[in-house]
Amino acid sequence: MMLLSIAIIVVVTLLAGTALWHIRRQATTFRTLLEVSPNGILILDHHQRIRWHNHAAAHLLGQPERTGLNGQPLSRWLPMLGALPAPNQRVDTLLQKGDSQSQQQLTRLPDIGRQQILLLHPGSDATPGAEAMERFKRSQYFARIGTWDWDIDTDRLYWSEAIYGMFGYQPGQVTPSYTLFCDSVHPDDRERVRAGEIRCIETGENHDEEYRVIWPDGSVHWVRETGNVVKNEQGEPIKMMGVVRDITEEKRSTRKLQELAHHDPLTGLPNRLMLEQQLTAALSRARTQHQRLALVFIDLNDFKSINDQNGHAAGDQVLLEVARRLRGAVRSSDMVARLGGDEFVVLLEGLSPTSPVSDEAHQICEKLFASLAPTMTVQGRDYRIGASLGVAVFPDHAVTMDKLIHAADLAMYSAKRSGNNQYRLGEDLNTHAHVLTP
């Protein structure tokens, strides 16, 4: 290793333009050593394109004509090597030679200026190589990642074994093709994925897309595809190569976290955060369309006694039934949310801008009272649930979200002080205060 390092330093120095006579003579000697070395040697520029290589490197990369390597990106043969290892680190990666793949070990030597030095280690015998390749395939399978390459302007597509499963097939069950790939991509994502590939081909920038694929059984799965373009000696794009990773579980986990962040874990109704987001958007629509919206705060009466006498399990069942009934009492476009405990909120949009506010509030509250009135049976016991309702209307009572919530909250507590199954309208917080009763 030390001899190789010294030899490479001398050769790179010569390539860099040092013209001293004794350096040239030493470089000639060391260059001869490098040419006969069994290790493949690659000198790369800062763009990771091959600047110089020896015979062994050309042989290991399957390139009969040595000049075919010059100026080519390293990713053409080592697509899995997203970043070079640290100096003096030996790593395993995938070597792509035409339609075949094999395991390749390489070591990065210390850089010389902006030039990077790689040693490609030849395999010892067939058996360890086969075992290493099998380990590599298994690592792809369990990591849910696979390699692919596509000959641009043709239908030819190569998949490693791990990719078949990401598209719903067994290895060898189908012949990969670009047509098969396009047909597997979800129709809503197909145009975007194709546009990303074209952009990569035309500009040379990396391709990175997340999209859905439809399996033969109709199920939908998510993958992330990254790749780059390979060019010929004339600088023309001829191939794209990259990796695909299954991200279905990641997407499912993300959706679950979003669900927990925006919904009540017991009832599944929107929580306070989602209510405020929806109310902000609803107020914007109401202003634009010159319509009213109503916010109804609901507090269950004597709910605490249910928990105290029969336990929280019974209380939870009551809350679930209340949520179901409230949801059924309003339109599908309206929102029912749970703020916590026994407090619920209903948001109704598109109310008439001309009807008296008291009439609108009366109709809304009567529907909600009627939904809660029937006896509910939980764990063999019958319960009758009463409620107190506070109604605030935009723009009559308030024109901002905070004031509208405050008005509805005050009205609800006013109704609660008046007795069971009462509702009150909010105070007009825009100019003056007044309270209307049904």
Of 73, 128, 86, 72, nearest in space to 103 by CA: 128
How many Å apart are CA 127 and CA 131, to the nearest integer? 6
CA distance between the termini of the chain:
93
Q: Is 168 left (phi over 0), alpha (psi -120 to 50) or beta?
A: left
Amino acid 13: pLDDT: 47
Amino acid 349: pLDDT: 93
Of 85, 87, 89, nearest in space to 74 by CA: 85
How many Å apart are CA 112 and CA 52, to the nearest integer? 14
Burial class for 27, CB neighbours closer than 10 Å (0-12, 13-18, 19+): buried
Residues linked to residue 392 through DSSP beta bridges, in sequence order = 295
What pTM does this model have? 0.50
Q: The tokens of 200 are what?
A: 């990569």
Amino acid 22: pLDDT: 47
What are the residue ranges in the chain where pLDDT is below 50? Answer: 2-3, 6, 10, 13-23, 124-128, 139, 431-438
How many Å apart are CA 351 and CA 368, to the nearest integer? 16
Q: 3-class DSSP state for residue 223?
A: strand
**Strand pairing of 386-394 and 422-425?**
parallel
To the nearest 10 degrees (0 to 180), the angle between helices 2-15 and 21-36 is: 130
Amino acid 172: pLDDT: 83
